[in-house]
Structure 1
Amino acid sequence: MIALLLLISLPLLATCGGQGSSLGASLYVQNVTADPAAYNGKEITVDGAYLWRPGDPTISVLALGIHTLDNGLDAQPLGDPIWLEAFPADVTSNMHRPGDAVYGFVRVRGQFATGNFGPNGSYPYQITVTSAELIEQVRRVEQKIKDAPLGEGKVSFFELQRNPAAYNGQTITTQGYYFWNSLIYVLAEGVSTEEDGSSPQPLGSPIWMEGFPPDVSPNLNVGANNSYVWGLVEVTGTFQTGGGFGRDGAYQSLFTVTSATALK
């Protein structure tokens, strides 16, 4: 869905081009890459899809559009991307954030150059950004549990976070938002989505989960082609803490599930 939205938005960008903005009249990525010599060494303003992905190599580019999986993950630039140097981080706060990348439509101004740029010099074009603004504002909706006792025999998610050592190695029952997207499997205090329900993300400091029963997933929010699952659940299992859990060992605690129930 995100890939289609970005692609469909390209004609919309074209209809508003040349009308100017706080950064001045703009070009489009395809204008620049079709005739790079005409813009080499010049200060230009360009509209396109910004994509940043961490890793090896890192990606920081301006492209025609973005292609993603159904869950918004594995974002890839379309067309011939332009490497972006010094893109301002504060502009990214209202972009799409599926979990492994940041992307959205932007208007950037900066010095254009041709040569060998980015990791391994693999990009023939670069803009050294002097200013940037969003064309597309992404608004998110949050659903969260309350910080309140759950009753006898149960431990709240927030109590686990405040006093993890007190419950280390114990079998407990708690509640929270289960989130799965093929990369991460966590219990969180909440989940945020874009206004149309797409691109869900866990909130706060999640607990890594193992053993969540697949037969509970159909009772939760399931993405197209099973691209993600999330929803409010009550789980029973063994809690462990001490760090080094989950993907890249990045999670402080682990919850190994023995039973789970979807909550409405």
Structure 2
Amino acid sequence: MKLRLFLFLLPCLASAVLHAQNFEVARISDPDGYTNIRTAPNAQSEVAGKLLKDEFFYCERGTGDWWKVSSYGTEGYVHRSRIQLFRDLPDSAKEPVFRSNFQQYAQLTEKFNRAYDRYNEREKRWKNREDSVKYAETRSEKEKFHETRYAILLGELPGYFCRTKDAAIIKLLFELEIEDSGSASETPDFALGECYICQPDALLQALAAFPRETRSGLCATVAFGLGNLSSHFDQEENDPAFKRLSKRLEDAAKAP
């Protein structure tokens, strides 16, 4: 199973740091379908990289026309006229963004899992070279989607869910977590933990749609996220609110 465990933890930690440093989530607004990242805040500087349509990135608002951006290991500047902040979208426009990206990531995960199934775990080798190449391609495709879309959007999910109580989106994320069970990324766990703290009834409603054997594992995922959000509680395990939330998860896991 080691080949299935993506080493996403360092990129996710980097994303969390950016999120905490006044960087905001954004996507491009450009009729050409892409925008250049410049090495300096002007149009004459060298191109450091490209931002593509539907990809998300972090940007830092500036006082001038060029804002600092960070995307998939590339940093530089983009003209503010080409940047659309995700927070400025109404929730009605955010819902299809979450749904579409979660569904696309689920498709990539299924594709990756099929490629991995060609690996001979017993003999620790691929059946043929074509299978090895296919696995590498699907892994790279999934990793880029994770870092430029999925993981970034997960950071925005709790705020959306706290306002909308959209149990359907949470149910979709739970289904994705089941499909992506081999991933080492803890980003979904933390997002679900925050969603649960904010709207426990709505999240438990989404959990109730799953059979008990599946639900118990999903409850453990939420509990892991909850346990790693100590900043929300006083002395964590001794905090009455933390105890109540933990008990409700335990009850949900045991429910018929």
TM-score, structure 1 normalization: 0.26
- Higher helix fraction: Structure 1 or Structure 2? 2
Larger Rg: 1
Q: Which has the higher contact order (CA 8 A, sep 6+)?
A: 2
- Higher strand fraction: Structure 1 or Structure 2? 1
TM-score, structure 2 normalization: 0.27
